[in-house]
Structures are given as structure tokens and as C-alpha cells.
Homo-oligomer: A and B are copies of this chain.
């Protein structure tokens, strides 16, 4: 048996094969999508392998190559496109034990891939007064490697852009899946080959990330009677380059009242809210803008009681896909979309067409220098057909959709696979053992790399801004 032979080559590297535990570790948050849930519920690996060192990762990958066992890298399993689901069975490669911080400099940090993002900041803050520029809202669970391989941006992207931007990841060390696995250090634009590639072209064991100055961010929640007024305010403060902000997210009523359980008492019926993280120096100017826009302060962490600070989650855990998570916990029929609204007019149009079928949630971001409405609207799901209609309504109105109901790189639409990446996978994973089934262009050589759609990770030439 392949798996038995594979295991035999692992020495004393910990292996788990209890079916229930293995199944649990074969999942991520794919169940946010009813579409993925129906398609992927049965998927499971046969074992979970948990190397403790980079040398052990090499041993695992050599054995996988030798015995043709599929290997799916896994961090905390918080991805929500099913990107960590082992479509071909085989082994889950649990990287959470590789969690050393290697080097901290005033403007950058180098660490192993399994470190939890919050733990990383807990070391860089006292050491050099720095913190990650941005993190997913799963900050307290997600791993560095999982974020790079599976994420795109998050809390802080309002100022620093996303992982797709050159300069957001300084360096990545991967191990290849070959007869004799090699270490490769990727820097410069080569980093973009493995960013958001779902671990299909190398196992990330270390990364070097730039740091931003650490800050005692103030959580602020403000309320508006009118959602579009909330959006106008959000756009205005985001556009003020003088305001050091880490998060601005307008959420239409009734998201706050119905799904933000702990913050509910602060929110009046019918109020739309904006979730804000501001540097102390930015708080006063933000409140001045708020007054001009007719909004009202509902909560400020810098004026909160000890008891409130203990009871309430940080505001970023209401934002990004935590908005979806909180809604799902209350109403399991809810799902979501990922969209991009070029202007406020586009938001207004979509809201006017879809109303409460699509409770609107927007994350203000900077994309390629422009203030952008990145949408993560909730969807009151009825059928896959209607979901497709909602997507079509967006596209017909000039709003891009990055479909979170697809588990392949290309169909998800975040990352464009290009010739350079395919060539790189041939080097790093010549037998196609790494997370098989996630890169269509690998399995289907006839796949059109140049389909005309919108991609968040544009591929190398476009990302570097070439004409």
C-alpha cells in the first residue's frame, strides 16, 4: 500500500491516522459556501503528518514524491475556499509546529511558516516597535504560511495594499517536492509565484515580511441612519492620507443588530455601522469628519470600561470574513460574495437592485493607489442558480466578482495562473503531488491563461505595472 510505504519512510515524524481527527484536519472553512459544502463534504486525507523541523519537511516531501502520495500543506485551516481540502486524499502536511521567529529587524521580520500571526506581532512589538502591515481577521488563529499561500489582505490593507503587491512579502523559502527536495529562496517578483498559490508549487517553510510601526489602535464603531451616508463617510476618511487608519468597514443594517451579538446593545434599530481602527492621532479628525457626515459614535475602545474591554471582541473580529462568520452563526442559510465596486455609485446601484437579499458589507481598501470599495456582501442564499444570477447582476453593472464558491485558483478568480507560474510548478513539483486539483492550468494544458476576466493577483508582468 502506498500510504503504508510512505509512512514507513517518515521515521519518528508524528503521523495521525484516526479517521475522525484526520477528517477534521482535512477541512477548512469551505462550508461558508453552500456550493462548496455540497461538493467537498466527503473529501478527506488518509493521514496527517506533523513535521517539527524543516529537515523533517524534506523527509516528508521526498517520501511523498517516491511513493506518489498527494500532499496538501495546511496551516490553521481557516481558508474559506476549500483550498486546503485534499481532493486526491493522501497526506495533510500540518505546518503549525514550524513556528520559530528567526530574525527581527527594525523594518522586517523573518519567521517560520507555522507561526500564528498574532504571536509574530507579540515578538516584534516589544523588540522593534513593529507589527505586520496587515493581517486577516483570523489574526489570532491563522499561520504566516497559510496567509501567504491562501490569503490576500485584510486589516491594514486600507493603507498598505495586499499580498499581491510587490513589496508586501520580502522573501519566501520553499521546499520542493522532488526526489531530493531542495530549498529555494524566492525574492523580488518570484515571491508572487507562491503567493496565493494554495501551496501547489512548493511548501513554504519561512518568510520575511516588512513591518509597519506598531500602534495602539483605537476601535471605533459609528452609526448612520443611511447606509450610503456611511459609505460616503468611509470613503472620505479613507481618502485622507493624513489619517492613519487600519480598518474601515461599512456594514448595512441589519448586520450590526442581527449578527454582532456583543455589540448589539450599542446599535439602534435600522442603523448601519462603520467599523474603524484608527491610530490615536487620527481619532479626533475622524470624529470631526463623522460630525460633518451626520454619523454618531456608538463605541470607542479608548473610552471603554475595563469590563467592556474584557467582554467585547476586537473590532477586526467583526470585519472581513468575520462578518460572514457571525452572520452564519445566527442564520446558517447565509453565505457571501467577494466583489469590487469601482465607485460609490456602483455600491448604490447594487444595493438598490438587491436590497436585503444582499446585506451589504464593504471593506475600504487601497488597490493600486486608489481608494476602493472591496465588497464582502452577505447573501441570503436560496439556490445556486440565484447565486449565479446575483453574480451576473454584479458583472452586468461593472462590478468584479471574485467567486468564493470555487475551490480552484483560476475559477476563484483571485490569482491568474501565467506561464511563469506553470514553469515554476514544473520545477518545484514536477510530479504534481502538491495539493492536486487546485490549479486547473496544470491539469488541463489547453486551459486559456488569458481569459479576459478581472484578477486580484494579476500575474507578474501586470503586477509590476508594465504597459
Chain A interface (Cβ < 8 Å from any Cβ of B)? 106-108, 129, 133, 159-162, 165-168, 170, 187-189, 210, 212-213, 215, 232-233, 236-244, 279-282, 284-285, 288-289, 292-293, 366-371, 461, 464-467
Check B280–A107 contact: CB distance below 8 A: yes
Whether B284 and A165, one on each chain, are in contact in the complex, defined by CB atoms closer than 8 angstroms, is: no
B289 touches A166 (CB 8 A): yes
Do A187 and B370 have beta carbons less than 8 Å apart?
Answer: no
Residues of B within 8 A of A281 (CB): 107-108, 167, 170, 210
Q: Which residue of B lies closest to A157 (CB)?
A: B241
A165 touches B240 (CB 8 A): yes
Q: How far is the CA of A465 from the CA of B288 in the complex (A)?
A: 10
Question: How many protomers of this protein does the assembly include?
Answer: 2
Is the pair B236, A465 in contact by a Cβ cutoff of 8 Å?
Answer: yes
**CA of A232 to CA of B464, assembled, Å:** 12
Asked if B241 and A285 sit within 8 Å, CB to CB, the answer is no
With A107-B280, A108-B281, A280-B107 known as contacts, the answer to whether A288 contacts B166 (CB < 8 A) is yes
List chain B residues, Cβ under 8 A from A166: 240, 242-243, 285, 288-289
Most B CB within 10 A of own CB, among A215, A285, A367: A285
Are B107 and A288 in touch, CB under 8 angstroms? no
Residues of B within 8 A of A467 (CB): 232, 293
Which residue of B is nearest A164, CB measured? B242
Cβ contact within 8 Å between B289 and A165: no
Contact A284 B188 (CB under 8 A): yes
Which of B159, B160, B170, B461 touches A292 (beta carbons < 8 Å)?
A: B461
Do A167 and B369 touch (CB < 8 A)? no
Contacts of A465 in B (CB 8 A): 232-233, 236-237, 239-240, 289, 292-293
Residue of B nearest to A284 (CB): B188
Shortest C-beta distance, A222 to chain B (Å), equals: 14
In the complex, A43→B232 CA distance in Å?
48
- Given A285-B188, A288-B166, decide whether A160 and B461 contact each other with a Cβ distance below 8 A: no
State in angstroms the CA–CA spacing of A397 and B316 once bound together.
Answer: 45
A288 contacts across to B, CB distance below 8 A: 166, 188-189, 464
Q: Tell me, rounded to whole Å, the shortest Cβ–Cβ distance linking A150 to chain B.
A: 19
B370 A369 Cβ-Cβ under 8 A: yes
CB nearest neighbor in B for A241 = B161
* Residues of chain B within 8 A of A285, CB atoms compared: 166-167, 188
Of the A-B pairs whose beta carbons lie under 8 Å apart in the complex, a sample of 28, sorted by A's number, is A107-B281, A160-B242, A161-B242, A165-B241, A165-B243, A166-B242, A166-B243, A166-B285, A166-B288, A166-B289, A167-B243, A167-B281, A167-B282, A189-B288, A212-B213, A232-B467, A236-B464, A238-B369, A240-B368, A241-B367, A241-B368, A288-B464, A289-B464, A292-B464, A292-B465, A292-B466, A293-B465, A370-B370
- Specify which chain B residues have a CB less than 8 angstroms from the CB of A210 in the assembled complex: 244, 281
Q: Which residues of chain B are within 8 angstroms of A279 by Cβ–Cβ distance? A: 107
The residue of chain B having its C-beta at the shortest distance from the C-beta of A209 within the complex is B281
Residue with the highest number of chain B CB atoms closer than 10 Å, among A160, A241, A281, A465: A241
A163 to B, closest residue via Cβ: B242
CB contact between A239 and one of B160, B187, B369, B461 (< 8 Å): that residue: B369
Contacts of A162 in B (CB 8 A): 242
Q: How far is the CA of A367 from the CA of B239 in the complex (A)?
A: 8
A132 to nearest B CB, angstroms? Answer: 13
Q: What is the bound-complex CA distance between A290 and B284, given in angstroms?
A: 39
Contact (Cβ within 8 A) A240 B280: no
Q: Which residues of B contact A107 (CB under 8 A)?
A: 215, 279-281
Q: Considering the complex of A and B, which 6 residue pairs feature the smallest CB-CB distances, nearest first?
A: A239-B369, A236-B465, A165-B242, A161-B241, A167-B242, A167-B285
Q: In the complex, what distance in Å separates the CA atom of A465 from the CA atom of B162?
A: 26
User: What's the nearest-Cβ distance from chain B to residue A367, in Å?
Assistant: 8
